[in-house]
Amino acid sequence: MNKEIRLILVLFISLLFGACAPEESIGKAVPEKIRVTDSNETVKIGFSMDTLKEERWLKDQALFKKAVEELGAEVEIVAANGDDALQLTQAETLIQQGIDLLVIVPHNAEATAAIVQKAHRAGIKVIAYDRLVKNADIDLYVSFDNEQVGEMQAESILELVPTGNYVYIGGATTDNNVHLIKKGVFNVLQPAINRGDIKIVYDQWTEDWSPEKAFLNMTEALAANNNQIDAVIAANDATAGGVIQALEAQGLAGQIPVAGQDAELAAAQRIVGGTQTMTVYKPIQTLTQQAAALAVRMAKGEDVTTVKYVNNGKIDVPSILLTPIPVTAENMRDTVIADGFHTGTDVYGAVDR
């Protein structure tokens, strides 16, 4: 069964669940799973991840596991690697195994609403981790301020290139974060666009965040504009890597500013090497520690209150939004290296000892 048919089936299941339980869709209280109250009982957290194919998510996996276990709880981690039907099946298995709370990084912000409904029917609360689940009664959303990520990207590039032709290479449209990041980018760029100072000559999404597809997009942008590109903003470091490969093929790498985000090691190396201009660092250790602590508290039946809410198309979701950090060659040592996210040797090479 190909991926498109499986996705249609997942969306059909999501709609079917909504049709079968109208009383829940209008806000009926979720039946509570019997919470862990005996101090001798171990809390078990399920962590359903979209993918482990990118460096960033491998770090999340390891750090979240460490944080949960340091709190005396257990965690079962599964990854669907971009397969929506598999993510639903994996989540069902976690629910059947009797987890006390589910944490989910959705691949498809819409399709994973079915997972939330299944968990709630079993009395299990759900935390959306890093990416928002759309049109579902999510109990908590823990992430970074993704709109601010886009603003930081655009501010850095606009300072360097106040006029000229801009390319925007977005991420996967199934990820709600890409829409927030793009909104932040254009919050900053729009006044310059309105003045005629800059022109967006190419704007394209990148299916599944694929660096190969970002390479093809950037190759197309260069061909369509006779290489007359002055700046590029890419939705993450993986897509920025594809962009830079396309620039290298035209002998333009290092001549055109490129922004990314996630502070991947390859991006940090490109930044100190001069082919990528900046990235946005999201301190994942802080995110994983907060998410783990909140997950364990909620699994024990403790209340969690927030001051921020993000609308997901159905409800205003209680949200914890952390602050990202722009990173350039100038502050590399003071940010990702000082935090231990990367070592100086890894970023700068063996000469950095």
Under DSSP, is residue 44 helix (H, G, I), strand (E, B) or coil?
strand
pLDDT of residue 146 exceeding 80:
yes
pLDDT of residue 82 exceeding 60:
yes
pLDDT at 259 (0 to 100): 98
pTM of the model: 0.81
pLDDT of residue 16 exceeding 90:
no
For 110, residues 6+ apart whose C-beta sits below 8 A from its C-beta are: 11, 14, 134, 135, 174
pLDDT at 312 (0 to 100): 95
pLDDT at 257 (0 to 100): 98
- At the topology level, CATH places domain 146-261 in Rossmann fold (3.40.50)
Q: What is the mean pLDDT of the chain?
A: 90
pLDDT at 123 (0 to 100): 97
- Taking only the tens place, the pLDDT of each residue in 297-319 is 999 999 999 999 999 999 999 99
What are the extents of the domains in the chain? 28-144+284-323, 146-261
DSSP state of 208: G
pLDDT of residue 2 exceeding 80:
no
pLDDT of residue 20 exceeding 90:
no
pLDDT of residue 352 exceeding 50:
yes
pLDDT of residue 36 exceeding 80:
no
pLDDT of residue 11 exceeding 80:
no
Compute CA 269 distance to the chain's CA centroid, rounded to the nearest angstrom. 21
Laid out side by side, the sheet with 101-104 consists of 74-79, 44-49, 101-104, 125-129, 140-144, 316-322, 308-311
Query: What is the pLDDT averaged over residues 88-97?
Result: 97
Place of tokens 């000559």: 201
CATH C-level class of 28-144+284-323: alpha beta
How far apart are the C-alpha atoms of 174 and 241, rounded to whole Å? 21
Q: Please report the DSSP string for 78-139 in residue order.
A: EE-TT-HHHHHHHHHHHHHTT-SEEEE--SSTTTTHHHHHHHHHTT-EEEEESSPPSSS--S
Return phi, psi of residue 185, to 5°. -60, -50
pLDDT at 341 (0 to 100): 93
- Taking only the tens place, the pLDDT of each residue in 157-170 is 999 999 999 999 99
How far apart are the C-alpha atoms of 290 and 323, rounded to whole Å? 13
Query: What is the pLDDT averaged over residues 82-94?
Result: 96
| Residue 231 β-bridge partners | 166
Query: What is the pLDDT averaged over residues 167-196?
Result: 96
Q: Are the CB atoms for 178 and 146 separated by under 8 Å?
A: no
pLDDT at 26 (0 to 100): 25
27 — pLDDT class (breaks 50, 70, 90):
very low
pLDDT of residue 14 exceeding 80:
no
How far apart are the C-alpha atoms of 323 and 74, rounded to whole Å? 28
How far apart are the C-alpha atoms of 65 and 63, rounded to whole Å? 5
pLDDT at 53 (0 to 100): 87
pLDDT at 41 (0 to 100): 84
